[in-house]
C-alpha cells in the first residue's frame, strides 16, 4: 500500500479519474506520496511555501485546496492571512487581494479561528 493510499491522497483521481491517468499518477503518487513525505521540510513548512508560491502565481483555484490543507498541517489562519498580506508587497496587490478573497471564503467571514 502506498502512502497515498494510507493517507487518503486521491485528489488527482477524484479530479480526473480515467480522463488524465498520467496527471492522476503524478499528483497522487509522486507529488503527495513522495514529495510531500520527504523529511527535510515539515508538512507545515511545505504548506506555507506552497501557499506563497500559489499566491505569487495567482493560482486561486489551487489555493482553495491548499489553504485548508495548510491549516490541517498546522499553519494557523492568522499566519496564512499575515503571509498573504506580506506577499502583497512582493507579488503584487491584485494577487494578494485575490488570495485573501479565497482565504476569506475558505475560513469564513468572521476572521481567523
What is the mean pLDDT of each successive set of 10 residues along the chain, which is 113 residues long?
Answer: 49 88 93 95 98 98 96 98 98 98 90 56
Type and span of the H or E element at 50: helix 43-57
What are the CA-CA distances from residue 54 to residues 23, 105, 112 (Å)?
19, 16, 20
Domain with CATH 1.20.1290.10 in the chain: 42-113
pLDDT at position 3 is 40
| Percent of the chain's residues with pLDDT above 90 | 79
Superfamily of domain 42-113: AhpD-like (1.20.1290.10)
69-92 tens-digit pLDDT: 999 999 999 999 999 999 999 999
Cell of 35: 514529495
Type and span of the H or E element at 85: helix 77-91
Q: How far apart are the first and last CA of the chain?
A: 35
pLDDT at position 11 is 80
The number of CA neighbours under 13 Å toward the Cβ of 102 is: 21
Amino acid at each position: 500500500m502506498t502512502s497515498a493510499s494510507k493517507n487518503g491522497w486521491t485528489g488527482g483521481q477524484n479530479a480526473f479519474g480515467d480522463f488524465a491517468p498520467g496527471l492522476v499518477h503524478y499528483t497522487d503518487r509522486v507529488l503527495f506520496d513522495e514529495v510531500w513525505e520527504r523529511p527535510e521540510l515539515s508538512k507545515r513548512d511545505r504548506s506555507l511555501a506552497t501557499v506563497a508560491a500559489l499566491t505569487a502565481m495567482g493560482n486561486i483555484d489551487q489555493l482553495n485546496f491548499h489553504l485548508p490543507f495548510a491549516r490541517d498541517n498546522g499553519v494557523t489562519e492568522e499566519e496564512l492571512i499575515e503571509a498573504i498580506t506580506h506577499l502583497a508587497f512582493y507579488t503584487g496587490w491584485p494577487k494578494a487581494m485575490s488570495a485573501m478573497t479565497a482565504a476569506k471564503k475558505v475560513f469564513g467571514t468572521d476572521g481567523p479561528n
